[in-house]
């Protein structure tokens, strides 16, 4: 009988115990019938609010734009077009003064 690997540590030594799966290496237990979205990528703004695609955001500090003489001023508003996982700049936005740009979530707040 083959069990799926552990979602936390990716160990292959998983066993079943009374309807739940248990990983002996990290002691993580989960129910295979439940939808576990604990590992889902979540982006939070400077105040801790969850940001999703389509949310309106405001900059909380002036930002320099690499390769441009212009910068983004505090209070500039935009809408989140896309969220990218695995980069320093998670939010793909379009600002009227600059154009399309990637912004780090810790420099914005949700409106």
Q: Report residue 35's pLDDT band, with 50, 70 and 90 as the boundaries.
A: low
Tell me: pLDDT of 92 over 80.
yes
pLDDT at 64: 92
**Which residue did the predictor score with more confidence, 97 or 31?**
31
Contacts of 95-101 spanning 24+ positions with Cβ under 8 A = 97/70, 97/72, 98/65, 98/68, 98/70, 98/72, 101/65, 101/72
> Is 99:39 a contact under the CB 8 Å cutoff?
no
pTM to 2 decimal places: 0.64
Tell me: pLDDT of 40 over 70.
no
pLDDT at 86: 77
Q: Report residue 42's pLDDT band, with 50, 70 and 90 as the boundaries.
A: confident
């Amino acid at each position: 009988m083959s069990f799926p690997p552990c979602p936390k540590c990716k160990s292959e030594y998983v066993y079943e115990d009374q309807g739940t799966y248990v990983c002996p290496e990290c002691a993580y237990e989960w129910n295979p019938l439940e939808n576990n979205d604990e590992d889902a990528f979540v982006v939070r703004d400077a105040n801790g609010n969850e940001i999703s695609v389509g949310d309106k955001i405001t900059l909380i500090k002036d930002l320099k734009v690499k390769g441009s003489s212009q910068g983004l001023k505090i209070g500039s508003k935009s809408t989140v077009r896309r969220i990218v996982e695995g980069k320093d700049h998670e939010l793909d936005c379009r600002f009227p003064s600059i154009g399309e740009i990637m912004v780090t979530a810790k420099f914005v707040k949700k409106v």
